[in-house]
Amino acid sequence: MTFWLCSQLAAWIFLLLLPGLSDGGKLLVVPMDGSHWLSMRQVVEKLNERGHEVVVVIPEVSWQMGMTQAYTVKTYPVSFTLEELDGAFHEYVHSHLKGLPFPQNALALYNSSIAVFNVFFSHCKDLFHNRELMQYLNQSDFDALLTDPISLCGAIVANYFSLPFIFFMRGFPCGLHYTATQCPNPLSYVPRLFTFNSDRMTFFQRVENALVALLELGYCNGFYAEAMKLSSEVLQRDVSLLDLLSSASIWLLRFDYVLEYVRPVMPNMIFVGGINCVQKKPLSKVRSFSPDYTFSNEM
């Protein structure tokens, strides 16, 4: 199943990259750390296996994005340590457990999520300051860029080099994937994040939905303030969050209507399902529930 899913994803991207069916494409990948990368890695490996030239650009300090033999990796030094990254993340987790009353809890969560994002995002500045790597990327003549939208770094790189780009994502705050694509997003039956409403709302739930929608862009503009500063700096013009995202060619959505309420989407938004694409270990043959079952090591 997992294999099938990843093959499907790879097939989509494969089609996007190929001018003719015989020659491989050249893909730049700007991934996002953590579970995001675990999902993307399999697709990247598959694309590489199929003869595409894949270059993955990653910061030297990261949680999950280690070395591999399967495709080309370019790393760049960053201005933070793994301890700093861990520290910011622990603070973020801790802010969820403080049990503060409303609205302090919301503010504390917002603050700590901005703080962790800013540590995390600073690698993007380091990338842009790395002349040698930027020059290499410029000269490499990529056909397209694959990235996770949440980190925004891939989108900035794609805009900087005027590369067509593909988003591969599970979730995006503030429904930005719908706003950026100018997708119909009716407040009357599309519940906003954190409202816990369904697609059938009472009048008051709709009012609540409308209020949350009003807050959303402000929320994300605050959250992405650092990223927008860098974008405007490197692109040398005033850039809004939506400017940066709206030129994405394709949005590959790692979900479907099993977990989401039915809603309109745009033609360049493609459901690929699957949430996560991590290859599972096959079940051990030893493990069974027969009486002679012996506990094996890695339960």
Ligand X SMILES: *[C@@H]1O[C@H](CO)[C@@H](O)[C@H](O)[C@H]1NC(C)=O
Q: Applying CB under 6 A, which residues contact ligand X?
A: 104, 107-108, 111, 138, 160-161
Q: Do β-strands 26-30 and 269-271 pair in parallel, antiparallel, or remain unpaired?
A: unpaired
* Nearest approach, Cβ of residue 234 and ligand X (Å): 9
* Nearest approach, Cβ of residue 156 and ligand X (Å): 12
Residue among 84, 96, 97, 24 at smallest CA distance from 54: 24
Residue with smaller CB distance to ligand X, 9 or 137: 137
* Nearest approach, Cβ of residue 122 and ligand X (Å): 16
What sign does the CA torsion over 274, 39, 114, 228 have? negative
Residue with smaller CB distance to ligand X, 146 or 163: 163
Residue with smaller CB distance to ligand X, 111 or 268: 111
* Nearest approach, Cβ of residue 285 and ligand X (Å): 52
Residues with Cβ within 8 Å of residue 2, at least 6 apart in sequence: 42, 274, 277, 278, 279, 280
Residue with smaller CB distance to ligand X, 9 or 127: 127
CA–CA separation, 70 and 92 (whole Å): 33
Task: With beta carbons less than 8 A apart as the criterion, state whether 32 and 150 touch.
Answer: yes
CA–CA separation, 189 and 198 (whole Å): 8
Residue with smaller CB distance to ligand X, 207 or 225: 225
Whole-number CA gyration radius for the chain: 21
Helices 225-235 and 203-223: crossing angle, nearest 10°? 50
Exposure string of 17-26, with b = 16+ CB inside 10 Å and e = fewer, is beeeeeebbe
Residue with smaller CB distance to ligand X, 137 or 241: 137
* Nearest approach, Cβ of residue 296 and ligand X (Å): 47
* Nearest approach, Cβ of residue 104 and ligand X (Å): 5
